[in-house]
Amino acid sequence: MTSSTYCKACNKPTTHKEMLVRKPSSYDTDPSLMGKIKLFAHTFINGGHYYDMDRYITCQDCGKRTLDNKGKAFE
């Protein structure tokens, strides 16, 4: 998705691209088999990879990537 947003690096409104990235959970750091099972169960119970996301916008002119979590969906 693209939108026009003010870029602080360019100091003007530019076209930005939106990207959602999953926030790492506490189970991501456990490489054991039990850790993988816990991660799968946590992901399944909490609605998959779309439960806890960060929204980033990237300027199409300069390439600056900014965290932009706004709204009730990201609180």
Between CA 36 and CA 48, with CA 42 as vertex, the angle to 5 degrees is 105
How confident is the model at residue 2, as a pLDDT? 67
Q: In this structure, what are the phi and psi dihedrals at residue 70, rounded to the nearest 5 degrees?
A: -125, 145
CB 62 within 8 Å of CB 10: yes
Burial of 17 (0-12, 13-18, 19+ CB in 10 A): middle
10-62 per-position pLDDT tens digit: 899 999 998 888 777 777 777 889 888 888 887 777 766 566 788 899 999 99
Q: Is residue 75 part of a domain?
A: no
Query: In which domain, by residue range, is 46 found?
Result: 4-67
Domain count of the chain? 1
